[in-house]
Amino acid sequence: MIDLRSDTVTKPSEKMRKAMYEAEVGDDVYGEDPTVNKLEEIAANILGKEDALFVTSGTQGNQIAGLVHCQPGQEVIMEAQAHIFLYEAAALSAFAGVQIKTLDGENGAMKPGDVEAAIRGDDIHQPETGLICIENTHNKAGGAIIPLDNMEQIYQLSNNHGIPVHLDGARLFNASVASQIPVKEFAKYADSVQFCLSKGLGAPVGSIIAGSSEFISQARKWRKRLGGGLRQVGVLAAPGIIALEENVMLLKQDHENAKQLTEGLQNIEGIVIENTVETNIILLDITKSNVTTEHFIKHLKEYDILAGQFGPNIIRFVTNNSITRKDIDHVLLAIQKIVNH
């Protein structure tokens, strides 16, 4: 089966499985697991932050950041199609007691002027702005890379207002590899950063949040409150180390496969590429194909291909480390047959 639903479907390599089996472990709640300590140190160094913390998922990492940065009754600014807003079950409202203010962006990027205009101050009728969130790459915008200068401008104005910035960098390494800009450069324009080990980097589970030592100290307590205090977590951290040390540059192949798939799709009548493909996500508008989204996905499955529905007429393909050039050719042939059926 060719699985293009997401890069979360990746499976750990044999080297990762062996590392899990052989991992040196200890009680992480006591700070005694040497493998997770090593992972956190590596991650902090890569991001240029003082400290880092292993968490069970990107969603948990984002929520912990909100809980640390915000007070109940405050407001969080983010782009209208942000993952935190659309796909995290209103967790910031449920846990942190904050409300979200969304801004329409361009290709996932908020305009700095719009962000500044949305910041609220000391008005008895309004919530104070407690946090600004940026997502890079931007999932709903088709894996778009938020430009570094855009992040810098938002970070500078946030500092002027004394408001922290959190970077939801679930696919931050995709942005780095595609743009050839070190992740440290993106991370310096955020007070806290979250990235996933379990997407394109190929680890089976886990994410990292990073920031100042004080931020991580508070984050560790919030992780405990959320039930995320883990024990012999080295068995999960070990593949994360391999992901960071060996798998980052493998993302380049995912991006090349996405470009090959995009080029082929552009030659199929009735298929429109909705996004500018910068990384590993392709959004297909099949409106002109005269095939419904449900039937399109069903027919793909008949050709042993899995894809995701991303809107009324939008199909999402996400290349990952299980996809080969041969798979891409098979997908293109299958879509040609479905459209011409």
Same domain, yes or no, for 14 and 117? Answer: yes
Per-residue pLDDT, 290: 82
- Domain membership of residue 20 (yes or no) is yes
Q: End of a domain among 246, 266, 284?
A: 246
For the chain, what is the domain count? 2
- Which residue, 227, 246, 265, sits at the end of a domain? 246
**242 and 276, same domain (yes or no):** no
- Does 200 share its domain with 255? no
Which CATH number characterizes residue 51's domain? 3.40.640.10
The answer to whether residues 158 and 73 belong to one domain is yes
In a domain? residue 1: no
pLDDT in tens, 156-213: 999 999 999 999 999 999 999 999 999 999 999 999 999 999 999 999 999 999 999 9
Question: What is the CATH number for 258?
Answer: 3.90.1150.10
Same domain, yes or no, for 220 and 295?
no
d(CA 324, CA 253): 9
Q: Are residues 156 and 91 part of one domain?
A: yes
Q: What is the pLDDT of residue 276?
A: 96
pTM score, whole prediction: 0.96
**In the prediction, which pLDDT does 178 show?**
98
> Would strands 75-79 and 129-135 be described as parallel, antiparallel, or unpaired?
parallel
Rounded to whole angstroms, the Cα distance separating 22 from 235 reads 8
**Same domain for 225 and 335:** no
Domain end marker among 246, 271, 296: 246
Considering the domain architecture, whether residues 270 and 195 belong to the same structural domain is answered as: no
- Cβ neighbors of 137 (< 8 A, separation 6 or more) are 108, 143, 144, 145, 146, 170, 171, 172, 174, 175, 278, 279, 281
Residue 235 shares a structural domain with residue 165: yes
- Is residue 182, in this structure, part of any structural domain at all? yes
Q: Answer yes or no: do 182 and 211 share one domain.
A: yes
Q: What is the pLDDT of residues 90-140, one digit of tens each?
A: 999 999 999 999 999 999 999 999 999 999 988 899 999 999 999 999 999
Domain that holds residue 95: 7-246
C-alpha to C-alpha distance for 100 and 113, rounded to whole angstroms: 18
Q: Are residues 212 and 78 in the same domain?
A: yes
Same structural domain, 167 and 306? no
